Structure 1
Amino acid sequence: MKRDHDKLEGKIVLITGASRGIGKQTAMDFASKGVGVIILVARTQSKLVELESIIRGGTELRQVNVVSYRCDVSNRREVGELAQKVIDKFGYVDILINNAGVGIYGNLEKQTAEDLELVMRTNFLGTAYCTKAFLGSMLKRRSGHIVNVASVAGSFGVAGMACYSASKYAILGFSESLYHELHGTGVEITVVSPIGVKTEFFNHVSFGWKKPNYAGFFLEPQTVSKAILKASCSSRLEIMVPFYIRAGVWLKQTFPYFLNPLVGWLFRRQLNKTKSASNDMSR
């Protein structure tokens, strides 16, 4: 059986949301595995240029061809233009990492319609747009792997993050449907669902100064990146990080009347603590 390093060697990898956090770490980790091309995609060009320099400057990473494109994945036209440029230049993409995502924290009644649309367009529609844009070339070659970065919030509705949870539930349903559609085509799809991660995700003003912490700890970006690399070589539908969170999902589905009230209490408690902390800071 081939090692993951051998499976990735020479591959063309495209990563959305690549300028920071999980995406940035994933780009650097793919580069260290001997892939042929890394295509970085994000909204902020300056951060993409900075990451290009980091990858090119790494002692072990110099042989990697790295290019970047500024693109807002929530914009269907921009995604179409991105796909055309990439296909024209490289012909195809072997591995597509749909990682771009945003979150806004707080009660739904206090969020604007624009807030809701931003989260759904970026997290779900961005994933769907990019998948559709590159799927055709994968199917023609009968080869390719799509990795969609979701969240444990796609299995548990989180108080204070209704739209974010909805977007991640949507990614799970979308990916499961495609998993069945793509059977026998040579194209595979895997979802990576982590708990909270130490990234700039929580820098949004809606989180205030206190991050909601449901698991008692946060993952490092390297931990999630490792799961994404594993997913790109896996035939599984979903990889949860950490793996034992799967037990909580099983309990929720098997004993919903017992677990849902407990989970709801935990989420409401975190929401109220974050509200109190924000109010104290504003006094």
Structure 2
Amino acid sequence: LELAVADGVSFLELVAPVEQKDGKLRCEKMKLGEPDEKGRRKPEPTGEFVEIECDTVISAVGEKVESELFTASGVEVDAKGLPDFRTNVEGVYAGGDAMRGPATVVEGIADAQWFANAVIGEAHKFEIPAKAVASRADAIAKKGILCESAKCEGGRCLTCNVVCQVCADVCPNRANVVVELPDGRHEILHVDRMCNECGNCAIFCPYDSAPYRDKFTLFKTREGFDESVNNQGFLPLGGSKVLVRLEGKVFEADLSGKNDLPADIEVFILTVLNKYTYLL
């Protein structure tokens, strides 16, 4: 919003488009009505109009349930035109968008499960076949694959409960990198110089984390290291020495000898320096 305003965009709230004609968009001024049972204040017309000069109009009309289909069949609907899950007509149920209004596919699937339970009178029992659970290798092989053909629908994976590398998948700058450690485990390394803090990884992280702040970070300059006071990570100093920020402490560590680094952190840093030199 701030960027749009800076670019000269005007946001007009509580105006409803009525007609576009002769290079002008005629809108009716609205006001907020009294709160409904959920506390939402529905816009109401005021009878006042305003005209906006324009040569192009892009309309976002939204979606709504065609409640006439229900009422014509004797199904009762509420003030928003939506029926109950178990309608007033015997044996008739509603679910998904028809009951909720615009909603998600997952909610529609859940409604279908509740419908099945209601029909058979008990919770439907099912077993997940063992072969339905992907191995770690299979999950990594499929991760992020896209296909234009519906024939390959089962051969892709954009989200996975076997291998979570979402922060690396969604980063437009590739600032979150999957690092394979010597024992085969995978860790996420955040690369400071490649990150513009767009927030994508925080939005999509299924664990309510902000990887661009929370993941161990590789820094390129001392300036960047000092600015990111909340990021744990390291700055290569040349040779075998690194500057490290860990648990609020900043210290130098020599990787060629004994140091104060936890063993797992030392292995992580050595792996990056030896196997992922392109990041340096």
Task: Please classify the TM superposition score into its range, dividing by the shorter chain length.
Answer: under 0.3
Looking at CA atoms only, which structure, 1 or 2, has the larger radius of gyration? 2
TM norm structure 2 = 0.19
What is the TM-score normalised by the length of structure 1?
A: 0.19
More helix by proportion, 1 or 2?
1
Kindly indicate which of the two structures has a greater share of residues assigned to strand: 2
